[in-house]
Structures are given as structure tokens and as C-alpha cells.
Amino acid sequence: MGKASYETGQFEDAADFFRRTLKTDPGFNGVHRELGKTLISLRDDDGAEKELRQAGSDDEEALYFLGAVLARSHRSEAIPILTRARELCPDFWGPLYYLGRIYLEQSQPKQALPLLERAARLKPDEPAIQYQLGGALRKTGREAEARAAFERVTQLKSTSLKSEIDVLSPQRDR
């Protein structure tokens, strides 16, 4: 029930289901991860961090979400966590993106660039990755490629906006 509530955007209900599961069976597989993800959606980063830390050091999804939360305010602590998530699941774009973003924010574009390039290959239609990639390319002197990445961001955002308008148009005509 918790996962179904989470998937339908009913985050308060999902959190309640996961908390009840923890009371009944504290060792229930994945419950700390799922509660942590839900708390992120509820903008409770402290609670999310607490739950995600309890999910285990081999839960790549929990490590990814924990690293993403920590990347906001505790970048140096996020790096080893995201690195571990990357080791566990090397073809997942998420840890690559957040690691690249952290290195870019720390003025280390040469470390950020290969991570962001790989993330972009794995998830080419994600505007956030293209934007960070453009920044890394610009900071490493690859201006033409940076412009292309930023143009890709504009293209992806435009396509997304057109899709949303198309979905909403029949509703508007009613």
C-alpha cells in the first residue's frame, strides 16, 4: 500500500504505511529506503537522511537517494556515498550526475566532465544533465560543445512544454 500511495503522489499516506510497517516489522526489506524516498517528496530531508542511512550499504537505490539529499548541503559526505552507489550500479545515470554536479560546484570541471558525459549517454533526454554538462564543457574550454549542450536543454524543455500543452488542450476545450 505504501508503494502504491507513493506512486500516485499520496506521500503522506505512503509515509504512514511505511511507518506502520516499521512498527510491525523493523527488518522488512526495503522499508527504510521507501520511507526515505517518500520523506524526500515531503521535503523532510533530515528524516529522509535518517531512513536512507538505515537501508544498508548495499542498497544502491537508497545510496543514490541519500547521496542526492546530501549533495544539497553536505557535498563532501555525499561523494563517497554516490561513489559506492556507482560501484554497485555502474550503468545508473543518477550517481554520475550528482557526482559530476558536485565536482562542478567545487570548481573541478575536469573531474565532472567524464561523469556528466557518461550520464548524458545513459539518459540523453534529461535537461538537467545536459545543463550541467554544458557548464563543465564551458569551464574546460570546449565552448562549441557547451553551446550544443545548452541548445539541447532548450530543445528538451520546449518538447516537454509542447507535450504538456497537448495533454492539457482537450481539457481546455471542455
Work out the end-to-end distance of the chain between its first and last CA atoms, rounded to an integer number of angstroms.
34
Note the pLDDT of residue 161: 74
- What is the pLDDT, as a whole number, of residue 170? 67
Domains belonging to the chain, first-starting first, are 1-90 (1.25.40.10), 116-174 (1.25.40)
Q: What is the pLDDT of residues 44-94, one digit of tens each?
A: 999 999 999 999 889 999 999 999 999 998 999 999 999 999 999 999 999
pLDDT at 173 over 60: no
Exposure class string for 128-149: b at 16+ Cβ within 10 A, else e = ebbbbbbbbbbbeebeebbeeb
Query: In the predicted model, what is the mean pLDDT of residues 92-104?
Result: 97
Question: The cell 536512507 sits on which residue?
Answer: 52
Cell 553551446, residue located: 147
Share of the chain above pLDDT 70, in %: 94
Q: Which three cell numbers stand for residue 25?
A: 516489522
d(CA 109, CA 31): 37
